[in-house]
Amino acid sequence: MQSPLLATFRRLRGTLARPTSGPGIGLYTPPLFDLSGFISSSLQRPAGLPWRTEKTRNVFRLRPRSRLRAKEPGPTDPRVASSTWALASARQGADFAVDTAPPAYYTRWGNPTVRELEDVLADLEGGARALATGSGMGAIASAILTSVDRGDHVVAGSSLYTATTEIFTRLLPRFGIETTFVDPRRRGAWKESVRSDTRLVYVETPANPTMMITDLSEAVSAARSVGATTLADNTFASPVNQRPIEFGIDGVLHSATKYLGGHSDVVAGAVVTAKRGLFDRIWFVYKMLGPALGPFEAFLVRRGLKTLPLRMEVQSRTAQSLAEFLEDRRAVRVVHYPGLQSFPQHALARKQMNGFGAMLSFELNGGYRAGKRFVEAVDIATLAVSLGGTETLVQHPASMTHGPLTDQERRVSGISEGLVRVSVGLEDADDLIDDFDRAIRAASR
């Protein structure tokens, strides 16, 4: 009997279409392979392994081959390194200068290798267009600055990536833009917080590093009641586990450095829009700020996407096992992982996610000292920032990433002194559990 993974790999391989006529690189539109069967049935686990939800409507689509074809096509994607291209006429140059997707003009306007990645990302999130950027913050900043103007009001979740929080608390106030932070766990909080001058509702779900879940439908409803744009950071979940556009979100943001790239070897970002109009506005701001993604970096992210569903399967399953282990340790006060029955928003996670992901956090009873000692005591896991790679990474937010925030900002964000964030990798689950067991004992001494 053919294994599910082998069957999936064969489906992904597909068949090569004939290249278009003419020398050099030809363009063609490859078929989209529907991985809904892979996501909803091939990877369905027995009842005793609740790493996945029962939701089966997800359609995960991946282009198995690049649109960029060499004359003699190979199995990997070509990389177009040109920063500029010859033009047929001055008129063509004028037309391309105002085009959001010229076929060949200047790499800050677009690059064939980068555009191939953008097409794939739009497919994965179910959006109209995607824009790849040189970092996750390049995508986040471009999208936020597009959505607000002087004197506007923003509503955002209280638990966010640190640099995103600093945009709302330290950059936007320079332009008279006020942000109201809401606890996404409180029902009705979004509706209560929007005002007539609210122009942006910003969510991050699951949130970094507390794993708080935002009810996307509730946030969208609140935003639409006042005509505000909605943006959702989907980095933690990835499009395998969640597609915010399906719930009405206008723009989806990613640090592609994380799960999309998946190997801790590239820095990149992306924004995917539900409609072309928002994309055009973000592209204008992006063009001014200049956070362009290079073709080699685009190639690395595109390569990482080929194994995204497979990585997420293993990492999510290991995260579930690790979370269950941590929950039984007396030195651990609480574990934040959507796949646990004890997680306060477990039902919401099952409702809007296809799987619970590979991120978790937990709080040690020993507070600040125990948190620091734990992350310094691990052996198999690595003490490092970032997430989403093949290796397990741990960090202590209170002393590291969230150190720049004030005590009040950390309290509002839910960052306790003993909180430890974990990005679960591809290591053996039993090895990781043994490593964490030893580190917890060391931190408790």
Q: Which entry of 63, 79, 152, 161 is annotated as an active-site residue?
A: 161
pLDDT at 29: 33
Domains (ranges, CATH) in the chain? 308-443 (3.90.1150.10)
pLDDT at 12: 42
pLDDT at 58: 47
Query: Degrees (nearest 5) of the Cα angle 236, 340, 56?
Result: 65
Helix (H) or strand (E) holding 394: strand 393-395
Q: Which residue has the tokens 């070897």?
A: 265
pLDDT at 65: 47
Return d(Cα 443, Cα 372) in angstroms, integer. Answer: 8
pLDDT at 412: 74
pLDDT at 66: 54
Q: Is 108 a catalytic residue?
A: yes
pLDDT at 189: 98
Kindly tell me the burial class for residue 408, based on how many C-beta atoms sit within 10 Å of its own C-beta (0-12, 13-18, 19 or more).
Answer: exposed
Q: Which entry of 108, 287, 303, 306 is annotated as an active-site residue?
A: 108
C-alpha separations of 106 from 67, 118, 132 in Å: 19, 16, 15
Longest dimension (CA), the chain: 74
Kind of pairing between the strands at 359-364 and 419-423: antiparallel
In contact, 296 and 81? CB cutoff 8 Å: yes
Q: Is 258 a catalytic residue?
A: yes
In contact, 336 and 360? CB cutoff 8 Å: yes
C-alpha separations of 88 from 84, 96, 106, 107 in Å: 13, 11, 14, 17
Q: Is 105 a catalytic residue?
A: no
Structure tokens at 334: 């609480």
Q: Which entry of 119, 123, 152, 233 is annotated as an active-site residue?
A: 233
Residues 93-101: contacts with CB within 8 Å, 24+ apart? 100/279, 100/280, 100/283
Q: Which entry of 67, 69, 115, 258 is annotated as an active-site residue?
A: 258
Name the nearest CA neighbour of 120 among 260, 26, 257.
260
pLDDT at 28: 31
Mean pLDDT by 10 residues, the chain (445 residues): 46 35 33 37 37 47 51 72 89 88 83 93 96 98 98 97 94 98 96 98 97 98 99 98 98 99 98 98 95 96 95 97 98 98 98 97 96 97 97 94 74 85 98 98 93
Q: Is 202 a catalytic residue?
A: no
Return d(Cα 300, Cα 308) in angstroms, integer. Answer: 13
Return d(Cα 211, Cα 197) in angstroms, integer. Answer: 29
